[in-house]
Amino acid sequence: MSVRALIGLGANLGQARDTIERALEGLRNTPGIESLVVAPLYGSDPIDAQGPPFVNTVALIQTTLAPLTLLDALQALEYAYGRERSVRNAPRTLDLDLLWYDGVTMETPRLTLPHPRMHERAFVLKPLGDLVPELRLKQGSIMVLLERCGDQKLWPL
């Protein structure tokens, strides 16, 4: 059975835009991901961190992969692009976050669903609103949550 899931993509090291495009192609070619629709790309300044601006987007996928199996696939792609997990919020070559999985709520040492900070991040909420404006998080609607993030700089790429 196939379900909908939302993946956040971000990068701010190297050729970030190119890395995001190649990572999207990697997702399209991942066994168990049946379809992929991508929001526009946005630029954003790092939050609670140093480094160059990020390139961000969100992808809506149809998948037959279970949440932890999908997380494994995302982390394999990150590592293929040189991702290091040295310090929280460090600059990164590629960041792939499983944001939402078919309305599932779960909390394990490896994965929390929905993503625990997605409602606080304009760089997630704006592309989410582009893809699934009807999505409602427990904290509220995408548009209301985006308004609360008005102090976070975001620009179309």
From first CA to last CA, the distance across the chain in angstroms is 35
| Tens digit of each residue's pLDDT (9 = 90 or more) over 90-113 | 678 899 999 999 999 999 999 999
Q: What CATH code is carried by the domain that includes residue 72?
A: 3.30.70.560
Query: CA-to-CA distance for 76 and 66, rounded, in angstroms?
Result: 15
The range of the structural domain enclosing residue 35 comes to 3-156
pTM for the structure as a whole: 0.95
Note the pLDDT of residue 35.
Answer: 98
Query: CA-to-CA distance for 92 and 60, rounded, in angstroms?
Result: 22
Tokens of 104: 């599932």
Query: CA-to-CA distance for 98 and 100, rounded, in angstroms?
Result: 6
| Tens digit of each residue's pLDDT (9 = 90 or more) over 72-93 | 999 999 999 887 666 666 678 8
Tokens of 95: 């960041």
Note the pLDDT of residue 83.
Answer: 72
The band of 139, judged by pLDDT with boundaries at 50, 70 and 90, is very high
Note the pLDDT of residue 88.
Answer: 66
Number of structural domains found in the chain: 1
